[in-house]
Structure 1
């Protein structure tokens, strides 16, 4: 009996005209037969979940190093939370939920061990070789470094998933090809020479909701982790506009509530209001700009998925609060410097003797120039979990910082 693809949930369904249609995908770099049971975007999402890179997120830091406790978020738990918010937004806007979820699930693949600390350290070490950008590294992971399939390196994701990965935060260049926020990372330019991701346009609305879901998730959950760690105090939220109203509402509704529950009441209100705000703004932009298809979304002069002016101000205020009181907290900065020293030590050791990396990482390395060796080392280091980086450092050096 023939399969009814519409009945399986990837026909036209309830998607709006402005949504990405998996049946109209621009395809994959390497042609493949279509699946009888899954849409193209479902296949992308499933491939992403089954990667080594996805599993490694379990042991990569979000803000706090893993040794500080099992209840703080890692890159994996953060990624799952982003995907949940992205799907909720996509459903409300009648988008393709699988594409939105896939972009959310893959968006942090390029992050190094030790959170942004590792990225900053690698970027400094690679200044003479194009620098390091976690977004570009995510592209390298899914197009080169994951080696699972017989017919190609990487995951051979659809054009739409790769576009969403690279451009979820907006266009990278103007129409003349000039970088909008500095030079475009070379790995992205290199890939675009094989498959043009149209760097001067916005990404799909599915990718846009994944991007703002990331903002909503880390703003909320970094506050949550900061409060649970003791580095932030609940009373500090009284001085943060928007958060102070949420705290007052929760306190007014629940007197004498234990602090852990009060924290959750504030966080759930924050997520709800931000999600509802994005939906309202996106619906307004859709009504005004009247996109007839996904390409109209790409060609627009703005992102459809954004905060209202009031919530945009609140978002900036929350970020400033987090930078001043959490990300730059003396205890966090001390651990960050220790973590950076581990990354620097390992990088220099591997560049001096690439054989220390072992396995496939040493194959052909003698053919590389200095920049090629540095990039191979960066690929190896960026893929490490926090725990593996610490173990490797202990194996190579007499003293390894205790990240506490």
Structure 2
């Protein structure tokens, strides 16, 4: 074998070795820039140093860019992609992928599927694309766009811009520096604001909502203040919007807007208010209808000032105060206290339990106490009653 033939054979051997390494089950690159492809059956690829291109196959792949400015595409399987250090471009492509940006100024795309994307340190741009994605901005001022689907977006640190996109999204604005902007987009979306540790800050997050930094979000929540046990959320409906608010299983405070509200306390000892201000709203408020549900637990339900109130205490020993207009009230299970001040048409059902019903309004009062040992106390106008064990005129009693 002459020198020329030996060189050709050596070159072919090196080429075959490189091909075998680049397309295989377990691939480890070198410090130079290279293109590494996964096999059809799934691969684990570690690029080492260099600005590399990693391409996944149809199966489940694990792709690690490590050092360098890498370009990584996952393929069709449920892949795990880790960019490592450097300014990387990471695409999940098909499948339910997990994409980690790590350090650097990264760009992440989820692609099709229900993906999990984590930005890491540095200012990143993250796009969920189609599917119900979970995205965390992490450190740095990030730009996060959930895209189509019911996405969950979270910012941990930095002044992020968070775009919900199409779908019913849940957005957590948790960063200590607050978000720069939250745009929920089309769909029925919920934004959860960071708790205000400093009492001097007041309702700063709500002011952001009013000044346009939080837009297009149907439900706005505020997380509980830290170190307070069993505290739920504060939830506000926007002014003059018809909204459905739902509490948690903790002790919530739920405030309706001036529009027609449907509020569900769920479990816990909740405080529910039919309208946000109790005193304002103007003539439009007289035409609004609120539907308030206490849920399980000993709840406090306040009808507010104007409009028609339909109130259900549900289970638990509740305190229910109707609005100043017309009320339809059902105490539900438990020993309830129901106070009616309405000047309109009022229908009150005590239901089960030993209830106390106070009828002090000047409108029409029809009361069905239901089962249990019930007491009705009224003022100047006697109500029509049924199934009530005791009926007391508070005015005549005070004159004795």
Same fold (TM over 0.5): no
Which structure features the higher share of helix residues? 1
TM-score normalised by structure 1 residue count: 0.15
Which structure has more RCO (C-alpha within 8 Å, separation ≥ 6)?
1
TM-score normalised by structure 2 residue count: 0.16
**Higher Rg of the two aligned structures:** 2
